[in-house]
């Protein structure tokens, strides 16, 4: 045991680590070292003599769990750290469910369905029921079922809840309860659980079997939870049940970073922790080690607008740093070029790397313009939130084979493997098998296992092909029983013909599929070697569970090398970058228009902005466009209300400074955007009321633009950014009149005249 590890903590962190008995709530500001506190608290318990297998530590990503375990191993030694019960909620609960599976009627080899598997099964059910997937959309139904499970509402309970069924009727999906019921039955018969079942079934297990609850209460003397603000109702209840006796529970989190309510996260879990544990000790980690003072102070001002929060004052002792820059673009396309150009200039001016930069946005749809502009400037980038490696068809097909070897009842894996590689078993045969299985209340595998009993349904050639398929998989199960994951994977993919088929292609797409397969085999090899080194299970089944429980951050398809990062702000949580660009800062995008009339949702949007801003270590740039194409139309956009919440002393407008000169602009003016002025016109402070009011026409720095009503085609005009140009065409009626202007330097632009600020040049 490393003796002096506690010296690495500041005073607040040390207090949170050494007060290890009883309930504790550690509130950590962004970049304040919460992971270090959680890690060192566990190391401190081990130093006190607590056995590692009596400590339960729950995280939200495998990455976080792995990093923490490695740190603890560095302090307490590998042989101690490997016995900790540390992992994601889903991986730990899957482990418990495998140990106790028989009590719920499952085999311990149950499959874990990912989102794609769940949607595929739901799609099949919808088709079998003769319902249109234009109304009964698989994704919507999957989300609805997921929400029910996270609130511990089973299929039977859903059916009996009138408020749920009435809602379904109102949205024209009256048979959703029936779909949920069939989906649950199909999963059970396939010996499969989806992600949400891991939480639902653990709650059922602990509620219905008191002896099991007592067993795990006695097993874990100490429970620690990371990112507690992200827990949902099901996770909250499990943790509460397990900690009710010993009450040695420590939760770490930041209510200001609670941004996942759409996944079922309940900020109330952290805000009301003291209601569950009135004697809980509260520790606040308020020193930010990541960002400059300016970024931290601005973030504090923003989040102070939220009423529902635990008060804390985050501070930084880093350098003051640059002011937060606000950039205005005329259009969303210009915004893309502006950001790409700024990144290019800063990269070479300050000798930075591309991976020092991140472009964040509210919705995935915003990425297109940035991808296009980065490509035009030959700036390499990687985008998070796209198709992950494990969702690619060729990868899921191979994994389906592994799943069938471990659990042949897996209906979704059966559908993927029955005719891959092609063996002459068509859709008609598969449909017949499914119908027979459904009629018997059985699985397709069990039908194939006694295919001779159904000889009247299939010809002799088809029966032989089905028998060969079944014998092949049964042979794999026997042959690979004592093999490690890599040996088993190699045997299955070779003997099944997968390797041969992948090597036959020569098109770019086929070569890419082969490369992905080879990367998969590399990952299995790495898993096997790491598991053997760490003394963990290294079977094919263990590998499958590891893959099935990977989270968003674990599965991101990250291209290597030096690249600019593009992602949504939700994806950015937990990450950090030297230079961050938060784009689309408009009221029509951020905050989301759907949150405008809901104070609770608006506060979550503000927390999301807080998260985005605090990803920046050295510089933050906020951008918005005055006009943006929405649904095929050029729409006027108003700057986000969040921009107006930033204290003016922390922001600057580079465009104004360059246009008017720093001294003239900064003398007596407040650098805050006014609500009604949508260009860079500074608002003046009212001496009478002491608040920000819109600048009047007479107070603006410059107002010598030609009224749009007097402009005509053929006029020579000047634009403050695009320069000199000629109006080629004017269309539309006020206030939506647009003009196509051919600029001498910038080419043709389509501008909304009421915001274009054009000045007519007299000839």
Mention every residue, 6+ apart, whose C-beta is less than 8 A from residue 646: 298, 301, 302, 324, 672
C-alpha distance across the termini of the chain, in Å: 84
Q: Contact at 8 Å (CB) between 294 and 37?
A: no
Query: How many angstroms separate the Cα of 256 from the Cα of each of 253, 486, 641?
Result: 9, 43, 18
Q: Give the chain's length.
A: 763
Closest to 308 measured CA to CA, from 258, 362, 253, 252: 258
Taking residue 676's Cβ as centre, other Cβ atoms within 10 Å add up to 11
Q: Is the peptide bond before 297 cis (omega within 30 degrees of 0)?
A: no
DSSP for 493-558, written as a single string = HHHTTHHHHHHH--SHHHHHHHHHHHHHHHHHHHHHHHHHHHT---SHHHHHHHHHT--HHHH---
Burial class for 718, CB neighbours closer than 10 Å (0-12, 13-18, 19+): middle
In degrees and rounded to multiples of 5, residue 55 shows phi and psi of: -115, 125
CA distance 503 to 506: 8
- Tell me which H or E stretch contains 143: helix 138-150
* DSSP state letters, 4-16: TGGGGS-HHHHHH
Enter the tokens of residue 129: 């029921």
Compute how many other C-beta atoms are within 10 angstroms of the C-beta atom of residue 703.
10
H/E element, 41:
helix 34-47
Q: Among residues 108, 124, 106, which one has the least CA distance to residue 116?
A: 124
* CA–CA distance, 595 with 194 (Å, rounded to integer): 30
- Reference 727, options 761, 702, 703, 679; nearest CA is 761
CB 196 within 8 A of CB 146: yes
Whether residue 46 contacts residue 1, with contact meaning beta carbons closer than 8 Å, is answered with yes
Whether 609 contacts 738, CB under 8 Å: no
Q: Distance (Å, rounded) from C-alpha 146 to C-alpha 196?
A: 6
In sequence order, what are the beta bridge partners of 316? 288
Run of H or E including 729? strand 723-731
Cα–Cα distance between 480 and 645 in angstroms, integer? 62
- Give SS3 for 731: strand
Contact (Cβ atoms closer than 8 angstroms) between residue 719 and residue 725: yes
- Give CA–CA dist 9/30, Å, rounded: 17
Q: Is 619 left (phi over 0), alpha (psi -120 to 50) or beta?
A: beta
The candidate with the shortest Cα–Cα distance to 381, out of 327, 339, 351, 350, is: 339
**What's the rounded Cα separation, in Å, for the pair 135 and 50?**
55
Give the span between the Cα atoms of 254 and 258, in whole angstroms.
7
Helix (H) / strand (E) element for 124: namely helix 115-128
Catalytic residue numbers read 34-35, 226-227, 257, 615
b vs e for 383-420, b when ≥16 Cβ sit within 10 Å of the residue's Cβ? bbbeebbbebebbbbbbbbbbbbbbbbbbbbbbbbbbb
CA 429 from centre of chain? 39
């Amino acid at each position: 045991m490393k003796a002096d590890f506690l010296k690495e903590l500041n005073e607040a962190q040390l207090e949170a680590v050494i007060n290890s008995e009883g309930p504790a709530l550690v509130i950590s500001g962004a970049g304040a070292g919460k992971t270090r506190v959680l890690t060192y608290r566990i190391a401190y318990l081990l130093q006190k003599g607590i056995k590692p297998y009596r400590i339960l530590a729950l995280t939200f990503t495998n990455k976080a769990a792995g990093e923490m375990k490695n740190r603890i191993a560095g302090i307490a030694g590998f042989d101690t750290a490997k016995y900790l019960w540390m992992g994601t909620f889903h991986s730990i609960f899957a482990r418990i469910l495998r140990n106790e599976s028989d009590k719920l009627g499952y085999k311990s080899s149950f499959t874990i369905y990912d989102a794609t598997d769940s949607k595929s099964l739901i799609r099949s059910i919808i088709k079998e029921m003769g319902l249109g997937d234009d109304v009964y959309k698989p994704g919507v139904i999957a989300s609805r079922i997921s929400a029910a499970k996270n609130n511990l509402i089973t299929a039977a309970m859903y059916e009996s809840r009138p408020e749920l069924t009435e809602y379904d009727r109102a949205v024209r999906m009256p048979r959703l309860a029936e779909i949920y019921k069939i989906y649950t039955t199909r999963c059970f018969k396939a010996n499969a659980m989806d992600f949400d079942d891991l939480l639902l079934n653990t709650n059922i297990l602990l509620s219905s079997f008191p002896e099991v609850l007592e067993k795990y209460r006695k097993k874990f003397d100490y429970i620690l939870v990371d990112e507690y603000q992200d827990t949902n109702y099901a996770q909250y209840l499990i943790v509460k049940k397990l900690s009710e006796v010993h009450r040695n529970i420590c939760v770490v989190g930041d209510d200001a970073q609670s941004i996942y309510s759409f996944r079922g996260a309940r900020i109330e879990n952290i805000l009301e922790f003291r209601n569950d544990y009135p004697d809980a000790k509260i520790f606040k980690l308020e020193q930010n080690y990541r960002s400059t003072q300016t970024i931290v102070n601005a973030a504090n001002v923003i989040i102070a607008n939220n009423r529902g929060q635990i008060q804390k004052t985050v501070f930084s002792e880093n350098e003051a740093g640059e002011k937060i820059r606000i950039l205005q673009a005329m259009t969303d396309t210009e915004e893309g070029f502006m950001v790409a150009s700024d990144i290019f200039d800063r990269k070479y001016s300050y000798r930075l790397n591309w991976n020092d930069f991140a472009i964040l946005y509210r919705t995935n749809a915003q990425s297109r313009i940035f991808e296009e502009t980065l490509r035009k400037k030959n700036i390499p980038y990687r985008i998070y939130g796209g198709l992950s490696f494990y969702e690619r068809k060729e990868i899921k097909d191979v994994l389906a084979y592994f799943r069938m070897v471990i659990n042949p009842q897996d209906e979704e894996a059966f559908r993927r493997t029955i005719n891959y590689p092609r063996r002459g078993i068509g859709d008609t045969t598969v449909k017949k098998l499914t119908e027979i299985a459904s009629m018997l209340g059985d699985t397709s595998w069990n039908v194939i296992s006694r295919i001779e009993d159904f000889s009247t349904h299939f010809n002799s050639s088809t029966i032989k092909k089905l028998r060969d398929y079944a014998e092949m998989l049964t042979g794999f199960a026997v042959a690979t029983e004592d093999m490690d994951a890599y040996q088993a994977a190699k045997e299955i993919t070779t003997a099944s013909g997968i390797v041969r088929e992948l090597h036959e292609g020569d098109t770019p797409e086929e070569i890419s599929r082969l490369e992905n397969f080879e990367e998969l085999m590399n990952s299995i090899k790495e898993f096997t070697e790491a598991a053997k080194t760490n003394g963990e299970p290294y079977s094919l089944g263990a590998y499958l569970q590891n893959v099935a429980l990977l989270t968003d951050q674990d599965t991101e398809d990250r291209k290597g090398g030096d690249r600019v990062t593009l992602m949504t702000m939700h994806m950015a949580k937990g990450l950090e970058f030297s230079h961050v660009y938060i784009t689309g800062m408009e009221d029509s995008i951020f905050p989301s228009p759907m949150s405008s009339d809901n104070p609770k949702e608006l506060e979550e949007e503000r927390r999301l902005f807080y998260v985005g801003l605090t990803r920046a270590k050295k510089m933050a740039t906020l951008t918005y466009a005055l006009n943006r194409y929405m649904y095929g139309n050029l729409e006027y956009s108003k700057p986000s209300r969040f921009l107006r919440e930033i204290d003016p002393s922390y922001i600057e407008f580079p465009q104004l400074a360059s246009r008017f000169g720093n001294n003239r602009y900064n003398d007596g003016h407040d650098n805050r955007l006014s609500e009604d002025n949508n260009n860079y016109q500074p608002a003046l402070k009212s001496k009478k009321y002491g608040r920000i009011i819109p600048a009047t026409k007479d107070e603006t720095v410059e107002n010598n633009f030609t009224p749009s009503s007097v402009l005509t085609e053929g006029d020579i005009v000047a634009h403050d950014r695009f320069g000199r140009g000629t109006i080629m065409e004017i269309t539309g009626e006020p206030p939506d009149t647009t003009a196509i202007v051919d600029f001498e330097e910038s080419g043709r632009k389509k501008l909304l005249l009421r915001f274009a600020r054009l000045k007519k040049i007299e000839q």
